[in-house]
Structures are given as C-alpha cells and as structure tokens.
Amino acid sequence: MRVLKICKITIILIFAAACSFAAPAGAPPVVDLENAAKKTIVIDAAHGGADWGVAASGLYEKDITLKLAKKIKEKILETKNEDIKVLLTREEDKTMPTADRVGLANAAKAQVFISIHCDYDRRETVTGYKIYYYGGKKQSVAPETETMPEWGNVQKKYPEQNLKFAKMIEKFMKAKLLTEKGIDKGDEKIDEVRLKDRGMAEANPLSVNGVDMPAVVFETGNLNTKIDSALLRDDGVLNSVATHIKEALLNYVLSN
C-alpha cells in the first residue's frame, strides 16, 4: 500500500515535470545555428535600373556603385573569414525601392550597412569622396519611409556607432595599405587611394533612413568633374577604394 502511494506520488511528479517542460503553444523558435555566429555586412549599390542616379561625363552612378559594391564583396570573401557574411542589396542593374533595400538589411539583422553612391557638384574644383552619417542632430522622416513607418526614426538609436563606423572608413581610406600583390611578393608595395578626402559630415541621409543598424553613405566622388570621372573610370582606382573599404568594414564588425 505504502509502495503504491509512493508510486502514485512519483507518477504525479513526473507528469507535473513533463507538463512544465512542454513547449508553449505555437511554432517552436527556429535557431539558425549555421548563421548564428556570423556577422552580416550589407553593401548597398545605390540606384539601378530606371534610376540612373548621377549621369555625367559619360558615366552613370548606378554602374559605378554596383561595380564598387561587387569588388568590396569579392575582397571580403577572399579573406575566407567564416564569421562574416556579405549581402549586396542588388547584384544586377535593376530598379529597387529604398524600402526593399532597407527591408533586406533589417530582415538579415545585419551588423553594419554602407550605401555606396557618387555625387555631383556644380563646382568643377570640388572633388573626392565624402562620408555622410546620421549623428543625432538632424532627424526627419524621409519620403521613402512613409512606406515603412515602423522604421522611420530607427537611426536615432545609432548616432555614436554611426560616427565610429564613419571614422573607421575615413581612417582606412586615408591609410596606406600593403596590396595583396605586395604581400605575395614580400615587397613594400603600398596601395593608396588617389581620390581626394573631403571628410565626414553629419546629415540625415535618405539612403540609410530606416536602417536598423549602424550605417553610412559613402559618396565615392563627383562624377561631373574631370578629375573624379577619370579616376572612377579606372578599374585600378575602384580596386584600391574597395580594398580600403573592405579593411574598414572588417575592422568595424570584428571589433564590435
């Protein structure tokens, strides 16, 4: 009898324990173990398709941004760092709304977002690259974010990280790097960016409005000017810019 009573209690306890460990109603959470440890970098090749961006000096902004974005991705993949995942917002010449680019990055829960552009300046003498970021001073909802109101002011979370990320890009764009070839040969071949540095500026860039992660806009050069259009036509210059941005991206994500 006593044995039976103990058995009954044991069965009740086992049943209670089983109930407390039962999965809650609804689908169980899916954990993507393969990508859980990865840090995702999103490179936005701005414009595309019917949206040319700046068209000057026989060049289209949409072509330069795609070329450069692909080069940066390729160079990151060449490092074979398994902790890094790279996504481009577009891999071909197609029209793509800002909301789709932002949605892609936010859905991927990426660590960092860089939107690649080229600029235009009526002053022929203003040349070089410039980095824009949201630093907390200005914030307004861009027209594009009307279609994604839930992300409207989300950049407000990242002024410090944006500044840190912008500084990292500027640091590496100005740095002298050993080229891959230089390392192979064991010589001291230094890779320098030939585009002029126009520095960083705090702004409220539309291309990153709604991006739920640290983000910057990188203006590669002024396509209407003789100097920048000649440089950006040169594949060697694009390779060099891509190498420096790759270094900045890897250093930023791996130190955060």
- What is the nearest approach in angstroms of Zn ion to the Cβ of residue 104? 18
Q: Which is nearer to Zn ion, 172 or 218 (CB)?
A: 218
For 133, other C-beta atoms within 10 Å of its C-beta total 28
Secondary structure letter of residue 127 according to DSSP:
-
Cβ contacts of residue 69 below 8 Å, gap of 6+? 43, 44, 45, 88, 89, 116
Assign residue 114 a region (left: φ > 0; alpha: ψ between -120 and 50; beta: otherwise).
beta
Q: Please, what is the Cα angle at 128 between 127 and 134, to 5 degrees?
A: 115
Q: Which is nearer to Zn ion, 39 or 62 (CB)?
A: 62
Q: Which is nearer to Zn ion, 61 or 212 (CB)?
A: 61
Residue nearest Zn ion, CB atom distance: 117
- What is the nearest approach in angstroms of Zn ion to the Cβ of residue 120? 9
* C-alpha–C-alpha distance, residues 119 and 224, integer Å: 8
Q: Which is nearer to Zn ion, 61 or 247 (CB)?
A: 61
Q: Which two tokens stand for residue 65?
A: 């941004």
- What is the nearest approach in angstroms of Zn ion to the Cβ of residue 46? 5
Of 89, 106, 16, the closest CA to residue 49 belongs to 89
> Is the distance from CB of 202 to CB of 135 less than 8 angstroms?
yes
**Residues listed for the chain:** 256
Tell me phi and psi for residue 58, to 5 degrees. Answer: 75, 10
Q: Which is nearer to Zn ion, 53 or 214 (CB)?
A: 53
- What is the nearest approach in angstroms of Zn ion to the Cβ of residue 115? 8
- What is the nearest approach in angstroms of Zn ion to the Cβ of residue 40? 23
- What is the nearest approach in angstroms of Zn ion to the Cβ of residue 47? 6
Tell me phi and psi for residue 168, to 5 degrees. Answer: -65, -45
Q: Which is nearer to Zn ion, 60 or 253 (CB)?
A: 60
Which residues of this chain interact with Zn ion, rule CB under 5 A? 46, 53, 117
- What is the nearest approach in angstroms of Zn ion to the Cβ of residue 207? 7
Q: Which is nearer to Zn ion, 84 or 129 (CB)?
A: 129
- Which residues face 113 on adjacent strands? 42, 215
